[in-house]
Structure 1
Amino acid sequence: MSGTQAWGFTDDRGAQLGAARVPRRVVAYVRAGAALYDLGVIPVAVYGSGHDGDAYDPAKAGVLEAVGVPYLGPGRALDEAVLRELRPDVVVDVMYDGKSPYALDAALVERLGVPLVALSVGNELDLPAILDRFAALAAGLRIDGRGGAGPEATNPGAGDPAVPVPVPVVVGSDAVGPEIVTPVTVSPGTGPGQGAALAEFEAAEAALREAAARSGLGVLALSGAGPEQVHLARPHAWPELAWLAGLGVRLLDPGPGPGANWLTADWVRAAALRPDLVLFDNREHATPPYALPGGVRLAPWSPETPPSPAAYARFFRDLAEALAP
């Protein structure tokens, strides 16, 4: 970060990004936007992936739809004029390959002349490292503890105890307090309410570790692709699944075959693994489980859980309940 820049961040491509002021208007991939919201930064809008349609996918969105953050549709179909009208100061996407943004054409953002932050959610990082990277970005995007300009409400989620409420900001405007000229260095840290979120994450880990030790159930993670086909997750290829294994969850590997993240097979292959509990992909484009033996427990799993301590604490708690006798 140069002496003329008030904000700087090095993303997971190694790109050194900077701006003359702290970005206030954030447009993000929906999964990233939901995590930033949990961390105290309210996006002005979010977009989806090639799997997504014209409406929010609840499995990725967290509370974004409930608090009125606009959804723009799939990122690679975004109209440039629409994005320009939003006047973003920064765009935030994710990466699975460690090289390029997943859900948006980087050339589009380059034409806008704003920084594009790409954060890794692939298996080159473990889950805590992924959470740390999003926390670092959120810390640098908050101004005196306040998030960026958000949807048409200055107090999103007010009156709803289930909705986390970041510190209010002036909405849809650059008027978010006096201009900040002191350089901001991005580093991991906690913002408003984040200490409680981290404590809840650690408590949820402990509850899941205890539940896994007591149950010993074999758990298979999968994504349904219709009555004839299913994608079986390779646990080591998914940071959250690898972390579950480290907490003692007995995850079943689908065995040899093509595919780095998934083994694509039929439901007979899934049943042959004799799972006690199936974590099924609950994203909108996935299909429900088919043809599994009677007595198999089912629990939802989003392979695109927002990377925030709050979101993963909820997932860990739900899984601990599913593992309970």
Structure 2
Amino acid sequence: MSGAQAWGFTDDRGTELGAARVPRRVVAYVRAGAALCDLGVTPVAVYGSGHDGEVLDPAKEGGLRAAGVTYLGPGRALDEGRLRELRADVIVDVTYDGKSPYALDEAVADRIGIPLVALSVGNELTLPAILDRFGALAVSLGAVSQGDVSQGDVSFGGSVADGSSAGLRVAEDVLQAAAAASGFAVLALSGAGPDQVHLARPHAWPELARLAELGVRLVDPGPGPGANWLTADWGRAAELRPDLVLFDSRAHATAPDGTLSGVRSTPWNPETPPSPAAYARFFRDLAAALAP
């Protein structure tokens, strides 16, 4: 990239992107778009993943619906003509493997000639680092920075555009105190029907790893196949004897089975928008669920 370019950004695949001017019309994967909306950059439209349908999942929408952002349906089924009509300047997706965008075929962006930014949400980065990367992108797209943007700053360093870092730090303090007082064993899971449930491996999820750092006693489902989840029946979930269940609240997941009817539960969106405001809300809700 030349120094004369008005906009440049290196994404988490190591791809250097540039344009003659700062992109103003952003189309994004819904998780990335909801984060950018929190950070002061409102997309013109968002698209979903293979789990999503033709209607925006309420668990994923964040502030998108209130901001009037258009939902385009699943990314893999996107009509290229529709993207051209939107006159997008940049597409923002996430990546779990550091190589490929998650929800959109990169060839679509290539054919239209739109730069595609993919930011990591996988466990190769900590949650603070993920939030810093989204903050950095938002600032590059014109959001107002309230401090220097630095990657991997565990204190979040004022590196987000909406000034909500302080709110996140307060929420973390509240959660840490609640976790210490309760001592609850917490199991994160995603229901997959009456006979099957996916049990989260805490180390595989940046936000769950952050919870552990804050003193939340997370239950590991134990040995077996699956890097992020151990797939089992609901009886296995009950055998782990959780005091509190974090259940996947996305539209495609099912509610906790009756075998866990005596266990406290609270919603968990495994695709929480990577913004300090969104995680502050989640941490406060979890703190409330841990209260006596």
TM-score normalised by the chain length of structure 1: 0.85
- 8 Å contact kept, 2:150–2:159: no
Q: CA deviation at 1:3?
A: 2.8
For the pair 1:315 / 2:282, whether they are aligned, the reply is: yes
1-structure distance, mates of 2:181, 2:160: 35
What is the SS of the residue equivalent to 2:286? helix
Distance verdict in 2 for CA 1:186–1:211, change over 3 Å = closer
Distance verdict in 2 for CA 1:76–1:269, change over 3 Å = same
Distance verdict in 2 for CA 1:288–1:191, change over 3 Å = closer
> Could you tell me which residue of structure 1 aligns to residue 265 of structure 2?
298
Q: Which runs of 5+ in 1 are unaligned?
A: 147-184
What is the SS of the residue equivalent to 2:60? helix
For the pair 1:288 / 2:255, whether they are aligned, the reply is: yes
2-structure distance, mates of 1:275, 1:118: 36
2-structure distance, mates of 1:130, 1:57: 23
1:1-325 alignment to 2 at 5 Å? 1-142=1-142, 145=144, 190=159, 194-195=162-163, 197-325=164-292
Work out which structure has the larger RCO, using CA pairs closer than 8 Å and 6 or more positions apart in sequence: 1
Q: Which runs of 5+ in 2 are unaligned?
A: 152-157
What is the SS of the residue equivalent to 1:304? coil
Identity %: 76
Q: CA deviation at 1:191?
A: 6.0
- 8 Å contact kept, 2:171–2:283: yes
Residues 287-307 of structure 1, C-alpha deviations (whole Å, 9 max, x = no match): 001033443101000000000
Q: CA deviation at 1:81?
A: 0.2
What is the SS of the residue equivalent to 2:199? strand
- 8 Å contact kept, 1:208–1:319: yes
Q: CA deviation at 1:65?
A: 1.2
- 8 Å contact kept, 1:123–1:237: yes
Number of residue equivalences: 284
> Could you tell me which residue of structure 2 aligns to residue 164 of structure 1?
none
- 8 Å contact kept, 2:149–2:160: no
- 8 Å contact kept, 2:42–2:67: no
- Divergent runs of 4+, >3 A: 185-192
Q: What letter corresponds to residue 73 of structure 1 in structure 2? A: G
1-structure distance, mates of 2:206, 2:194: 28
What is the SS of the residue equivalent to 1:278? strand
What is the SS of the residue equivalent to 1:270? helix
Q: What letter corresponds to residue 260 of structure 1 in structure 2? A: A
Q: What letter corresponds to residue 11 of structure 2 in structure 1? A: D
Q: CA deviation at 1:97?
A: 1.1
- 8 Å contact kept, 1:95–1:122: yes
TM-score normalised by the chain length of structure 2: 0.94
> Could you tell me which residue of structure 2 aligns to residue 163 of structure 1?
none
Larger Rg: 1
2-structure distance, mates of 1:131, 1:222: 23
1-structure distance, mates of 2:253, 2:182: 28
